[in-house]
Structure 1
Amino acid sequence: MNIAATGNNDDLQIMRDLIRDHQDGFALPRHFYTSQAVYEHDIKAYWNHNWIWVGHVSQIPEPGDYFLFEYGPESIIVVRDRENIVRAHLNVCRHRGSRVCLKESGKAKLFSCPYHAWTYELNGRLRGGRAMGPDFNPADYGLFAANVRVFQGLIFICVADNPPPIDEGLARLAPLTEPYGLERLKIAHSASYPVPANWKLALENYMECYHCAPSHKDYSRSHSLKDPRELEELIAPLKERSVGAGLQPVNLELTGGDAAGPAADIYYRRYPLFPGYKTGSKSGEPLAPLLGQLSGFDGGTTDIQIGPLNNFLAYSDHVVGYRFVPRSMQETDIQIIWMVDQDAEEGRDYDKEMLTWLWHVTSLDDERIIRHNQEGVNSHRFVPGPLAEMEWGIRDFYHGYLRLV
């Protein structure tokens, strides 16, 4: 399609025209990664209408504990209220829009706007608007609430009035993830890797392992996803070992509105590591105590996706959470969170440097390849090419993304 020939300078209309003409099985045109209007529309139409994993209940164990989660222009206060309920509020004062909460985390009895001192209860209700006159009703001006789901200790939020249905999918996922004891996890370490690229390029990179063999030498020594032929040969033995370790060797894939019923995207698949590797470590040896109800190491890891934006890898001794958080049109934070059993002690049960080694070096690789990807896509000569069979995850992402935006 010749965009210049359309005579239409509206970026969103160009986007709609490109969606109409998009060829299934091909990458998206550069406009989706280079337009400020498209980026702002992504936040409004896609991020604000999907479930986002923001943290773990271990971060807010007591009433008044809170932390902030931010993406694009949005800031969310995640707090445990006085009734022990996990809540999420948009960090926007109902008076003139100031940020209410400025510290990244802490403990609060109330939230007080630093601009004009409007004060909010932990549950979001406006306690008082100073000197607003006799006709002012505080009940009309509580903090905007975000939807919350807590799944086995993992906290998800969605700011949309009508979020995508997720409960049925979580119910079907629950027995598969229960053996890991996700509710008993704690965060051992978190890191952010800024990359000068659009968030979609960062997410697309995670959704395929076509690049793993040439781009991730350390990862490819232990993880069989790099080669579908080797993967297939190792699956049957892994299933037997998984059963012995207390895991169900069952795959689950649900997408919104599919034949299985309404669900946000839910994906669960355990796949084999190469022989000699019990977990995702440099040596292949365990990194931390076994998780939950597991009785041994089966030599595998699990890909888990809960909603299109939230990815996890569950090894037998630790869980790694992945997010690709947009900061601006071509600025994204690759956020990695390493979690271990709540009773594990650093220095006694695990070494943080060894625990984080694999996904630290892999994320450094990702920053490099995603940066170069964006540099190439920025070229006016870029023309989308066909997706490989191993890039099926990107194709699935496009289907959902293009429907929503």
Structure 2
Amino acid sequence: MTHQQPIGLDALIESCTPGFALPRSFYTREDIYHHDIGAYWNNSWIWVGHISQIAASGDYFLFEYGTESVIVLRDSANDVRAYLNVCRHRGSRVCVEHQGNARVFSCPYHAWTYDLNGHLRGGRAMGPDFDPTQYGLFEAKVRVFEGLIFICTGETTPEIDTGLDQLRALAAPFGLGNLKAAHSASYPVPANWKLALENYMECYHCAPSHKEYSRSHSLKDPSSMTNELVEAMQQKGREAGLPSQVLSLPAEGQQGMNFYYRRYPLYPGYQTGSKSGEPVAPLLGNLTGYDGGTTDLQIGVLNNFLIYSDYVVGYRFVPTALQRTDIQVVWYVRGDAVAGQDYDPDTLIWLWHETSLDDECIIRINQEGVNSHHFVPGPLADMEWGMQSFYDNYLSMIRSGG
């Protein structure tokens, strides 16, 4: 669906300078925020969860962003499907429980009832001429990649399959389809979603802002990522069954959905992302050892993952209002790992809990400064190299209305 553009949007887009941050209005105007949801979020692939959450037919959970709510479920044929949580009668939410198991979904307002295929089973007292086949739930598009579930609710769907095919061999050793959520947490921040996402996209801030992270991750200082450090990781990786290829799509100068895979070294003494550097959970997939590295995986700008040899962290930055974003973090371990026996939850989550608390602080004060009428966008640093690609894609999508 094409959405009406905010007044003056084209002129605002033209005022953007390549290589500089976005102007203030993109983070402070209510009309642009709502346009973001309709034109950008609705037409992007969004990571919503993992197949382990819906193991049986009828299992479901809700995923919500902006003004939208989506029912993600496993249908009677055991397929993963997603439906807009909007009754086709007068728009009520059909499902109000955040997760569960159901044979049907019955709207609490007027009892219109839908089956697991989204079909309307009947509209109560609608008369003999009413045709229920015309009023099924609106269906979202779904892709499942190595157990990770992605949805797109809009009519304009970015091409995703080619990128996923190229990532498949790189992700395979980690056994992402055989994971379970060990912990999930939400870190609400009073800031526009773009500031939260931009913070994740660059490590220019890592050294001054993330003391714990910077003790172990060489990404905080590219000059420390020496050839010797990289080669040592790659040698251990080959022995453990890990690929070291870098994948970045689209290629420079091309447009399209972003895919990124890169394994980079931790500092000596760290086998994984933990306080001590020691392993915190069983090895993932078919890995046979630790290479002292971690993987940045991006499937579309909105969906980001860190993959250590023994656990996975998924990050998303979900808009809930103009200047309110839910930083949602999920820690995954191997599917058969047992809490208290194979891993200690507090030890597992320590690093990225601390890092997320840091992020909540720096994103909050970033928004406070951007709210000033005196804010003027400054130039991006070399270490903020990924942000221009996001800006280009974002501005293109909101200009076209999705």
**TM beyond 0.5:** yes
Separation (CA, whole Å) in 1 of partners of 2:72 and 2:170: 27
Whether 2:103 is the aligned partner of 1:109: answer: yes
Aligned residue in 1 for 2:192: 198
Q: Normalising by structure 2, what TM-score?
A: 0.96
Matched residues in 2 for 1:237 and 1:286: separation?
18
For 1:81 and 1:359, locate their aligned partners in 2 and report how far apart those are by CA, in whole Å.
34
1:230 aligns with 2:252: no
The one-letter code of the counterpart of 1:271 is Y
Aligned to 1:340: 333
Distance between the aligned counterparts of 1:256 and 1:110, measured in 2?
Answer: 45
Report the equivalent of 2:167: 173
Take 2:105 and 2:373, find their aligned partners in 1: how far apart are those partners?
48
What is the CA–CA distance in structure 1 between the aligned matches of 2:281 and 2:319, rounded to whole Å?
32
Distance (whole Å) between structure 1 residues aligned to residue 13 and residue 237 of structure 2: 43
> Structure 1 residue 363 and structure 2 residue 356: aligned?
yes
- Aligned residue for 1:291? 284
- Equivalences for 1:204-243 in 2 at 5 Å? 204-233=198-227, 234-243=229-238
Which runs of structure 1 show a deviation greater than 4 angstroms over 4 or more consecutive aligned residues? 256-259
Unmatched segments (≥5 aa) in structure 2 = none
Matched, 1:401 2:379: no
RMSD, aligned α-carbons: 1.4
Structure 1 residue corresponding to 2:324, chosen from 303, 321, 331: 331
SS of residue matched to 2:239? helix
Whether 2:120 is the aligned partner of 1:126: answer: yes
Distance 1:61 1:257, change over 3 A: farther
Give yes or no for the alignment of 1:349 onto 2:342. Answer: yes
Does 1 or 2 have the higher relative contact order (CA < 8 Å, sep 6+)? Answer: 2
Whole-Å separation in 2 of the counterparts to 1:311 and 1:149? 16
Q: Partner residue of 1:306? A: 299
- 1:86-97 alignment runs, 5 A limit: 86-97=80-91
Q: Report the identity percentage.
A: 66
Task: Look up the match of 1:375.
Answer: 368
Q: CA deviation at 1:395?
A: 1.3
Distance 1:169 1:258, change over 3 A: farther
Write the deviation string for residues 151-194 of structure 1: whole angstroms up to 9, x where unpaired: 11000000112310100100000000000000000000000000
Match of 1:146 among 140, 145, 166: 140
- Number of residues of Structure 1 aligned to a counterpart in Structure 2: 394
TM-score normalised by the chain length of structure 1: 0.95
Unaligned runs of 5+ in 1: 1-9
Distance 1:83 1:287, change over 3 A: same
State how far apart, in whole Å, the 2-side matches of 1:168 and 1:187 are. 27
User: In the alignment, residue 241 of structure 1 is paired with which amino acid?
Assistant: K
User: How many Å apart are 1:258 and its aligned residue?
Assistant: 6.4
**Post-superposition shift, 1:20?**
1.2
The one-letter code of the counterpart of 1:175 is: A
String of CA shifts for 1:316-359, please: whole Å, max 9, x gaps.
00000000000000000000000000000000000000000000
Q: 1:74 aligns with which of 60, 68, 71?
A: 68
Contact kept in structure 2, 1:209 and 1:390, CA below 8 Å:
yes
Equivalent of residue 250 in structure 1, options 226, 234, 245: 245
CA distance, structure 2, for counterparts of residue 360 and residue 15 of structure 1: 37
**Cα deviation, residue 404, structure 1:** 0.7
Task: Check conservation: 2:58, 2:103, Cα contact below 8 A.
Answer: yes
